[in-house]
Amino acid sequence: MIPEAHVSHQMSGRLRIKIPSKKGDSSYFAALPERLSGCTGIGEIAVNPQTGSALILYECETSAIARYARDNDLFVLRRSTPARKTLFDHVADTFGAYNAKLRQMTDGQVDLPTLVFSSLLVSGIYQLARGNFVMPAWYTAFYYALGVFTRAQAEEWDEGEDVLEGADDGD
């Protein structure tokens, strides 16, 4: 079976591929430069069996390299590896899961933006009731509540536009 390779980085004339199933296989990576150098347009090839990667300097189309590697049973080249998630992506996924659970528990009546908006609004009213007119807490809470509210409204509007764009005007 031909191993699968993924493009981990690519620039003009420079291609780094990872071959996860051959990681640590020094005999495979020892033979790879010689076998791959038969492809017209390939210059230098540097391999690293410990990381399971190969750096290929080339002056041809990447599709020619992929075709040559596949035809010679070296590897099947895929465009890219799955993107790594950033910290923001993880936090957004977590809040997305909380939001879905909250909507499910409240039959769609409450979501996180509504909950944050309500909490900040109540916090601002509480600060006003305590007489904190000079402290920034009450108007900061209102400011953030307004921001959450307008963002949630804009997202609802965008979702509505998507539905309307796909609808028939058959009236």
**Calculated CA dihedral for residues 14, 19, 20, 24, nearest 10 degrees:** -100
pLDDT at 134 exceeding the cut of 70: no
Q: Where are the domains of the chain?
A: 4-78, 89-161
Name the one residue in this structure whose structure tokens are 């509505």: 160
Name the one residue in this structure whose structure tokens are 């039959």: 107
Q: Give per-residue pLDDT as tens, 33-64.
A: 999 999 999 999 999 999 999 999 999 998 99
pLDDT at 101 exceeding the cut of 70: yes
Name the one residue in this structure whose structure tokens are 């291609």: 15
Closest CA to 53 of 19, 76, 4, 9: 19
Q: Give per-residue pLDDT as tens, 146-164.
A: 777 667 655 544 444 433 3
**Mapping DSSP to helix (H, G, I), strand (E, B) and coil, where does residue 19 land?**
coil
Q: What's the pTM value of the predicted model, to 2 decimals?
A: 0.48
Please give the Cα distance from 124 to 136 (Å, whole number). 10
pLDDT at 93: 79
Please give the Cα distance from 101 to 97 (Å, whole number). 6
pLDDT at 165 exceeding the cut of 70: no
Which percentage of the chain shows pLDDT scores above 90? Answer: 41
Question: Are 13 and 57 within 8 A, CB to CB?
Answer: yes
Which has the higher per-residue pLDDT, 20 or 138?
20
Which has the higher per-residue pLDDT, 5 or 143?
5
- Say which residues have a Cβ less than 8 Å from residue 120's Cβ, sequence separation at least 6: 141, 142, 144, 145, 148
In this structure, whether the domain defined by 4-78 belongs to CATH 3.30.70.20 is answered with: no
- The pair phi, psi for residue 12, each rounded to 5°, is -60, 120
Confidence of residue 17 (pLDDT cuts 50, 70, 90): very high
